[in-house]
Amino acid sequence: MTDSIAILDFGSQYTQLIARRIREVQVYCEIFPWDATAEQVLALQPRGFILSGGPASVYEPDAPFLPGYVLNSGLPVLGICYGMQVLTHALGGRVAASQEREYGHALLQTSLENPLLPAGSQQVWMSHGDRIEAPPPGFQPLASSQNSPIAAMGDLSRNYYGVQFHPEVHHTPQGIEILRRFAWDICQAKPEWTPESIIQQTVARIRQQVGGERVLSAVSGGVDSSVATAMVQRAVGDQLVAVFVDTGLLRLGEAAQVRRALQNNLGVELVVVDAVDQFMTALRGVTEPETKRRIIGELFIRIFERQARHLGKPRYLVQGTIYPDVVESSAPDRAQAQRIKSHHNVGGLPERMEFELVEPLRYLFKDEVRAVGEALGLPAGLVWRQPFPGPGLAVRCLGEVTPERLERLRLADAILTEELSAAGLLRMGRRGEELHGTAQAFAVLLPVRSVGVMGDKRTYQEAIALRAVTTEDFMTADWARLPHDLLARLASRIVNEVQGINRVVYDITSKPPGTIEWE
């Protein structure tokens, strides 16, 4: 079993980020609610614990407290912000409200050589209103900041550490090194969490679960369902059959790309259902976005039901659930089999259809899913594609969805993708403190017409809105500052190459107040 770290969540907005940073140093970790049972947490067989931050104060009534099994385990502990305070409180130290709160950048000065913190000074990110007034017995101050005399502390003999700042955020440049030191040097966890080890362990788990039974996978063309299908195919081979419903609402060339990826690259048995005419008929005259979603979901259900009957109603169903889904739904149980709900990401299967789920990506973050997808042999164009809404282009084609309007939208969207790729902006990265590139970019066809002039002739045609955003968590987003010459080239190409479009606009709304998608 791979060495691991258990993270206890006390309500911090950064808890998932702690887990991602630990995974980045190739150590497996899982997040548990702070009040999870000892049996749940210790089943992971962790090499150490990280206590997250949180909004409470430890001296308040009913504040979250440190479970006894953490200290009884004798394992290393790292408390971050509230985690440091709850560790202090549990061990007999004193926590009090600070007269001068610290939010934002601070300069940390290491005062005592220790295995956790680099020597000297470093920039860190603070976000706290309480501070340690007196450390617990056995602890020594390790570092200070202007408003925190004890910005880090440690009991080096018991491997207990606390930091008042947030090493998991990018505003703490050496934070990843601090977490690496805790995981590798203090917890002695081996850095074995790699795409290859993930595949090896997951394949073994799937084989144990499924045995010789048939497995069904609903492939949407998205990253998660494609990688999940590829993983299960690696495990059970021709026991798997994948169903891909072509709704006619996909991006340019997407249906063919999915076929090539699964059939040619991986040899997956793929049943392709051409349902374009059915979806176009069902959506005729419909303009209200929620009605579109309901029609698409219902029709997908019925088509998938028919295919499942033709295939003998396999007992197992592959679902591309990923770790953020698990954390946000507070469902940490590893072994539970679940009934598919009408809103689930395989397209909304009805409750009366019961499968035992196979969820090979259940404990992976999106960046890990992509790395595993590449290691499984999926093409980069599929693995690194940007997020795409479940109802497809129907909710980016504002107004009535028709084959003609969809074709305009598809072509405009393809031009945007092509130009962003050529400019090196189709993926998102960092340049210093700034996000660079795009996390999501797409075209929207607007249900409005405007007057234009082409070849000295008056036109009265539709408009395309371009949307490109930067974000790390998709909970908030900012509009991407695309170069002006790129925007000019996009407008020129779309107007000249897409029939029926004579105007292009660029959406500069952040989230909030807007959403990333328009519908």
Residues labelled as active-site residues: 81, 166, 168
Distance in angstroms (rounded) separating the CA atoms of residues 179 and 167? 7
Q: Give the Cα separation of 282 and 391 in Å (integer).
A: 13
Q: Is the peptide bond before 118 cis (omega within 30 degrees of 0)?
A: no
Q: Is the peptide bond preceding residue 513 cis, with omega within 30 degrees of 0?
A: yes
User: At residue 9, what are phi and psi to the nearest 5 degrees?
Assistant: -95, 115
CB atoms within 10 A of CB 37: 12
Instruction: Report which of 115, 347, 358 is spatially closest to residue 247, judged by C-alpha positions.
Output: 347
Measured over the CA atoms of residue 451, residue 453, residue 458 and residue 462, the dihedral's sign is negative
Tell me how far apart the alpha carbons of residues 286 and 498 are, in angstroms, rounded to a whole number.
24
In this structure, are residues 303 and 278 in contact, taking their beta carbons and an 8 Å threshold? yes
d(CA 2, CA 18): 18
CA distances from 148 to 110, 121, 230 (A): 12, 14, 50
Beta strands across the sheet bearing 28-33: 28-33, 4-9, 49-51, 77-80, 160-163, 152-155, 140-144, 94-110, 121-134
CA separation for the pair 206, 208 (Å, rounded): 5
Distance (Å) of CA 426 to CA 112, 356, 368, 441, 490: 45, 37, 19, 8, 14
**Integer Rg of the chain from CA:** 26
From residue 238, give the alpha-carbon distance in Å to each of 212, 269, 508: 10, 7, 48
49-51/77-80 β-pairing:
parallel
